[in-house]
Structure 1
Amino acid sequence: MDRMRNGPAVLSFWVALVFFPAADLTHDPWWAEAAALTAVSCCYLLSVWAAFERPAAARMALAALTGLTLAGCAVYGGTWFYLCPLVSIACGLVLRGRAVPAALAAVTLASMAVTLWKGGGQDAVAAVAWGTGIAGVVVHVTLQLHSTRRELARAAVAEERERFSRDLHDLLGHTLSLMVVKAEAVRRLIPRDTASAARQAADIETIGRQALAEVRAAVSGYRGRGLAGELEAAGAALREAGVRAVVGGAGVRLAPRADELLGWAVREGVTNVIRHAGATVCEIGIREEGGEVVLEIENDGVTVPGDGDGDGDGGHERGGGDGGGHERGHERGHGLRGLAERASAAGAAFEAGPVPGGRFRLRMAVPR
């Protein structure tokens, strides 16, 4: 059950409505009525405080409160009708779901009937109905709004966690792939060219430091290096992996949001080429097309059905797994799926899959 901060203390204040029938007792003391008022006060306070911790006890207190209040109105009349809102407040607080409107309607109609039976006119009946009904509705709506706000807060936290995990994956996936490529180069070079191996090892150290800085920047809220920085890093990574990089249209001016999104697309697309494609050439093109900026990353590393992929289509799926269509097996990763989610959130068009000529293409069109 949702808890309102300071809810019991705030709602307990309304027990002060007992003052009106209690004031009448100072002029005409009647111990039975005094005992009834005390019981009403206790039942109301118990229902309010138990509603947040002990719902079963709260419902029992609510039932006793309802019976005592309506009986008191029927027997004593007069200022006892001021206590009817206490019943509706307790209903709105203790009950949940469809029971609330039904209970509020029943309490309101019962209080109107008792008022009419005691000889009250239309004004009295209307006043009792208004006070009784609106008190419960306000409490119920307040609780619903509080519950909705809590759910929205939970959803926002969950969404932010998912976004951050996706960002961290995208940041580290590219960098770690490059480090693996360089480590393989070191292993190959050690037997015949120790100087080159040492340079590659130094590059691994530099890349590792850069990755650490990027992770720290991501923790601080930074979302990426932008398109220009990613293109530069992509060219270096492809060359180190033995893939010829062809980059065109890098001078297109972009809005910050489009620059960020296309930067992530370059990072993820090139990471997939290095890790999974077995490509020899990777072409990266950027152009303006209508009111959009279009990025295309195309490579010649498509695998064919029957070569061990096991999925019957070369492993390519539109907006699919981390392998960008090159990863073997059925396991779906987070890279392209995360990129597709980014594109959808930004209103961009995204697709990734094989194209004629034994090539694989990643395409993203971002509104300017």
Structure 2
Amino acid sequence: MKRRWWSTSNVDVGKLPELTSGTAFLPGLMLTAGAVADLVRGEMSLPWLGGAGLLAFVALYVTVAYRAFDPSRRANRIKLGLLAAHAAVTYPLALGYGGNWIQLFIPLALVCGAVLRGQHLVVALTVLGGSAGLISGERDHDPLAAMINGYGTFISGLVTAAILGLAATAAELRRTREELARSAVDRERLRFARDLHDLLGHSMSVIVVKAEAVRRLMERNPAQAAVQASDIETVGRQALTEIREAVSGYRESNLATELDRARSALSTAGVTQDVQLSGPPLDPETEAVLGWVLREAATNIIRHSNATHVEIVMVHSQQQVRLEITDNGTNQPSSRPAGTPDAPGNGLKGLAERLAEAGGSLVAQVGPQGGFQVIAELPKPM
């Protein structure tokens, strides 16, 4: 199916034929119609010389017009040389024959508008417009025709340059908009991948731990094993709900809820907790980010640390809130397979990105007494 030329989908304004191809300048050759008519009527001296000059004029006009829009053939010296040759043909024809031949200055001005920019364009158009007016006044002795030819030459080149400049700006804006759209898609893809990792990593770790508990308790304590199996079902259903919410973009982590989940998962894994949370209530954005930190830290402790105890401490200062999570595990950061400074994984790397976006920072390091420590700091909202 052919795409319509006016479609806004996948169309680069800078590639539209009307604006970036020499074909758009071919109608300018209609301004030679008066000179052609003079040749046909034979109302001029040396018609063969005028015909040869007109053919040269047309050839140079077409060459300059197409070269102006060919990126591989836009050397400045060549363009300026062709423009000079074009002018060298135009002036003798206009001076020698006058009348309709003076209108040849307008096509020359058109290609000047396509090739030149800035001061060079203004100077060239001023010279061409002034020349057209002076030659017309001298040859035809008609002040009105002189003014029309001079002004028409100047404004034709100026309008051409303005239109091409606007087209180039529109093309750049289109490319910028497409790049921003791609960046937005990349950011959203990264956000979703990060959320999915954090959601599934924690939930799967809890399910694995509880499944191990079910296996251990199945023979000696079936009732407790049934409780753990029920927890697995609950965690699985909650994980499905969270994934749906993440896909919809509505889920925000809650620190109190994440703390309850973390304590339950850590207890099931045989990890005792010392929780010390102080200070006033947090704003929703800060609480959401710290909830992600707590979730990821608890997941890493269960999966990698071999820890038996963890301390969770949150303190406030005038400028910031600080969350510290420290375990007594035997694995050091360099030996942990994911989310560590020495072997960065998706978990803590994603958390660092979240905190950076919120103006905070994340530190993952060896704890004061060994083990592993995660420190998250966020500025308090003004």
TM surpasses 0.5 = yes
- Helix, strand or coil at the partner of 2:261: helix
**Of residues 366, 370, 382 in structure 2, which corresponds to 1:354?**
366
- How far has the Cα of 1:19 moved from its partner? 8.7
- How far has the Cα of 1:265 moved from its partner? 1.0
1:264 aligns with 2:292: yes
**Greater helix content:** 2
- After superposition, where does 1:205-244 map in structure 2 within 5 Å? 205-244=233-272
Work out whether residues 47 and 90 of structure 1, in 8 Å CA contact, stay in contact via their aligned partners in 2. Answer: no
The unaligned stretches of length 5 or more in structure 2 are: 1-9, 41-50, 95-100, 135-149
- How far has the Cα of 1:201 moved from its partner? 2.1
- After superposition, where does 1:278-289 map in structure 2 within 5 Å? 278-289=306-317
1:294 aligns with 2:310: no
Q: Which whole-Å deviations, capped at 9, do the CAs of 1:314-340 have from their partners, x for residues lacking one?
A: 448xxxx73446xxxx64311111111
Q: Which whole-Å deviations, capped at 9, do the CAs of 1:185-240 have from their partners, x for residues lacking one?
A: 12222232233223222221221111111111100012433222211211111111
| Residues 81/334 of structure 1: CA separation in 2 closer, same or farther (3 Å cut) | farther
Q: Give 2:215's aligned residue.
A: 187
- After superposition, where does 1:158-173 map in structure 2 within 5 Å? 158-173=186-201
Q: Give 2:357's aligned residue.
A: 345
State the identity as a percent. 36
- After superposition, where does 1:70-149 map in structure 2 within 5 Å? 73-74=90-91, 75-76=93-94, 78-83=102-107, 86-87=110-111, 104=117, 108=121, 111-112=124-125, 115=128, 118=131, 127=155, 130-131=158-159, 133-149=161-177
The unaligned stretches of length 5 or more in structure 1 are: 92-102, 305-312
- After superposition, where does 1:38-53 map in structure 2 within 5 Å? none
| Residues 295/21 of structure 1: CA separation in 2 closer, same or farther (3 Å cut) | same
What residue identity is the alignment partner of 1:322? A
What residue identity is the alignment partner of 1:87? V
| Residues 55/209 of structure 1: CA separation in 2 closer, same or farther (3 Å cut) | farther
- Helix, strand or coil at the partner of 1:366: strand
Q: Give 2:12's aligned residue.
A: 3
| Residues 19/323 of structure 1: CA separation in 2 closer, same or farther (3 Å cut) | closer
TM-score, normalised via structure 2 length: 0.69
Work out whether residues 252 and 287 of structure 1, in 8 Å CA contact, stay in contact via their aligned partners in 2. Answer: no
Work out whether residues 102 and 132 of structure 2, in 8 Å CA contact, stay in contact via their aligned partners in 1. Answer: no
Q: Give 2:4's aligned residue.
A: none
Larger of the two Rg values belongs to structure: 2
Please give the alpha-carbon distance, in whole angstroms, between the structure 1 residues aligned to 2:292 and 2:108: 62
Please give the alpha-carbon distance, in whole angstroms, between the structure 1 residues aligned to 2:354 and 2:27: 56
Q: Give 1:196's aligned residue.
A: 224
- How far has the Cα of 1:251 moved from its partner? 6.8
